[in-house]
C-alpha cells in the first residue's frame, strides 16, 4: 500500500508542473500583445510598457516562467490587474463559499442518487426502475442554468419558500472566522442565522447536485446489478437470508466501491464546475469571480483561479484513487502499469 501511495504521489508532481506551464502559457497564447488586449484599444504607449514590465513580458520566456513558478511555490499568485488585490487573497475569501456549496450538493446527490440506484436495481424492469432511468436521463440532459432559473421562479418568486440569491440575509451577518457560514453562525451561537444560511443553500445545492445525482443513480444501479449476479450473492439467497440483509450487507457493500469513486470524481467536478450555479444564484464563490475575471480579461486572476480549481480537481481525484485502493486491494496489487 505504501509503495502505491508513493507511486501516485510521484505522478502528482509532473501533473502539477504541467498545470503550472499551462496556466503560465495562458498569457502567451493570447493572439497579439496581451498587454494591449488587457488595456483595450485606447491604451497609451506608456501604460502598455508599464504593464508589460509588470507582467514580466519584456523578459526572456524561461525567466518569466522561473519567476512565476517560484512565486507559486511561495503561495504568491500575483495581483489582480483590475482590483490590484492579491489573487491568493481574493481566492481565499471566496473559496469557502464554493466549497460549502459543492459539499452540500454532493451530499444531496450521493444520498438521493444511491437510494434511487438501489431502488431501481431491486425492482429491475419495473415501473420504479424505468422511472429512475428516465429521471437520470432527464437529469444529464438538463441545462442547470434553466433548472436554476425555474427553481428561483417557483420556490422564491411564486411560493416565497426560499431566498432568491446570495449566502445569507445581510441583516443576519456574523463575524467571519472560517468563511464557512454554516460553521461561523454556529460558532457565533446564532441559530437564526444558521437556519437562514441553510435555507440559502437549498436551491443552489439542489441545482448543482442534479447532474451528479443522475450519474450516481445510474452508477449505483449498474454496480448493484453487476454484484447481484455473483455467486456469493446467490449463496446468500440460498442460505435464506432476508432480502434486506442480502441487498444492504452483501450487495451494497461491494457495489459501493465503484459508486464511491464516482461520487469522489463528481465532487471534484463540482468544485470546478460550480461556475454556472454560482452565477445564477449570485453566490460569492471562486467560479463566479473567475467568470468576471475572464470577461474583464484579467489574466493574473484567471491564471490563479484556474490553477487553484484544477489543482483541487487533481488532488480530489488522487484522494479518490487512494481510497479506492484502500477499499479494493486488487487495485494496489495490480502493479504500477496504470
Partner 1 sequence: MSETRRAFRQFLRHRGAVIGSVIVLVFVAIALLADVLSPHDPLAQDLVHRLEAPSATHWLGTDDFGRDVLSRVLHGSRVSLRLGLVAVAVALLVGGTIGLLTGYYGGWLDLIAMRVMDLMLAFPSILMAIVVVAILGPSLTNAMIAVGIMAVPQYARIVRASVLSVRGLEYVQASRALGAADPRILARAILPNIAGPIIVTASLGLATAILDAAGLSFLGLGAQPPIPEWGSMLSQGRELVLVAPWVLTAPGVAVFLAVLGFNLVGDALRDLLDPRRT
**DSSP SS3 for 115:** helix
Name the minimum Å distance from CB 250 to partner 1: 22
Q: State the residues that interact with partner 1 by CB under 8 A.
A: 14-15, 18-19, 22, 26, 29-31, 37, 137-138, 140-146, 149-150, 152-153, 157, 268-269, 271-273, 275-276, 279-280, 290-291, 294-295, 297, 299, 302, 306, 309-310, 313-314, 317
Q: How far is the CB of 303 from partner 1 (least distance, A)?
A: 9
- For the bound state, the minimum distance from the C-beta of residue 290 to partner 1, rounded and expressed in Å, comes to 7
Q: Which residues pair with 79 in a beta bridge?
A: 86
What's the closest the beta carbon of residue 164 comes to partner 1, in angstroms? 9
CB of 94 to partner 1, least distance (A): 15
Assess contact for 77 and 300: CB atoms under 8 A: yes
Rounded CA-CA distance 7/206 in Å is 37
Nearer to partner 1, 123 or 190 (CB): 123
- What whole-number distance in Å separates Cα of residue 262 and Cα of residue 220? 9
249 vs 292, beta carbon nearer partner 1: 292
**Residue 281: how many other CB atoms lie within 10 Å:** 28
Q: Name the residue nearer to partner 1 (CB basis): 184 or 288.
A: 288
Give the Cα separation of 42 and 219 in Å (integer): 54
Residue 53 or 149: which CB sits closer to partner 1? 149
**Which one, 236 or 273, has the nearer CB to partner 1?**
273
- Beta carbon nearer to partner 1, 205 or 275: 275
Q: How far apart are CA 27 and CA 73, in angstroms?
A: 19
Least Å distance, CB 285 to partner 1, is: 13
Residue 248, C-alpha cell as written in the block: 444492504
Q: Grid coordinates representing 6?
A: 508513493
Going 272 to 278 to 279 to 282, the CA torsion angle's sign is: negative
Tell me the C-alpha to C-alpha distance, in Å, between residue 35 and each of 27, 44, 48, 57: 9, 11, 6, 9
Amino acid at each position: 500500500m505504501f509503495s502505491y501511495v508513493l507511486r501516485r504521489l510521484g505522478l502528482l508532481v509532473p501533473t502539477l508542473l504541467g498545470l503550472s506551464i499551462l496556466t503560465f502559457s495562458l498569457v502567451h497564447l493570447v493572439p497579439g500583445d496581451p498587454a494591449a488586449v488587457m488595456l483595450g484599444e485606447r491604451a497609451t504607449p506608456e501604460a502598455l510598457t508599464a504593464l508589460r514590465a509588470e507582467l514580466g513580458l519584456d523578459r526572456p520566456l524561461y525567466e518569466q516562467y522561473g519567476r512565476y513558478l517560484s512565486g507559486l511555490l511561495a503561495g504568491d499568485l500575483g495581483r489582480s490587474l483590475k482590483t490590484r488585490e492579491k489573487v491568493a487573497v481574493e481566492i481565499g475569501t471566496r473559496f469557502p463559499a464554493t466549497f460549502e456549496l459543492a459539499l452540500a450538493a454532493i451530499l444531496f446527490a450521493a444520498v438521493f442518487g444511491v437510494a434511487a440506484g438501489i431502488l431501481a436495481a431491486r425492482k429491475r424492469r419495473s415501473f420504479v426502475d424505468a422511472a429512475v432511468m428516465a429521471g437520470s436521463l432527464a437529469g444529464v440532459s438538463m441545462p442547470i442554468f434553466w433548472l436554476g432559473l425555474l427553481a428561483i421562479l417557483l420556490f422564491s418568486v411564486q411560493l416565497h419558500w426560499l431566498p432568491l440569491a446570495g449566502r445569507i440575509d445581510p441583516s443576519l451577518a456574523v463575524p467571519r472566522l472560517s468563511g464557512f457560514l454554516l460553521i461561523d453562525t454556529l460558532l457565533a451561537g446564532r441559530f437564526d442565522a444558521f437556519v437562514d444560511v441553510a435555507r440559502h443553500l437549498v436551491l443552489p445545492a439542489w441545482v448543482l447536485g442534479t447532474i451528479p445525482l443522475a450519474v450516481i443513480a445510474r452508477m449505483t444501479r449498474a454496480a448493484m446489478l453487476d454484484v447481484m449476479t455473483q455467486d456469493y450473492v446467490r449463496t446468500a439467497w440460498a442460505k435464506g437470508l432476508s432480502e434486506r440483509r442480502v441487498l444492504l450487507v452483501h450487495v451494497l457493500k461491494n457495489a459501493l466501491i465503484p459508486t464511491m469513486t464516482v461520487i469522489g470524481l463528481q465532487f471534484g467536478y463540482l468544485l470546478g464546475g460550480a461556475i454556472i450555479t454560482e452565477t445564477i444564484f449570485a453566490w460569492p464563490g471562486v467560479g463566479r469571480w473567475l467568470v468576471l475575471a475572464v470577461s474583464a480579461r484579467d489574466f493574473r486572476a484567471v491564471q490563479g483561479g484556474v490553477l487553484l480549481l484544477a489543482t483541487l480537481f487533481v488532488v480530489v481525484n488522487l484522494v479518490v484513487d487512494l481510497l479506492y485502493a484502500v477499499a479494493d486491494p486488487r487495485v494496489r496489487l495490480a502493479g504500477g502499469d496504470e
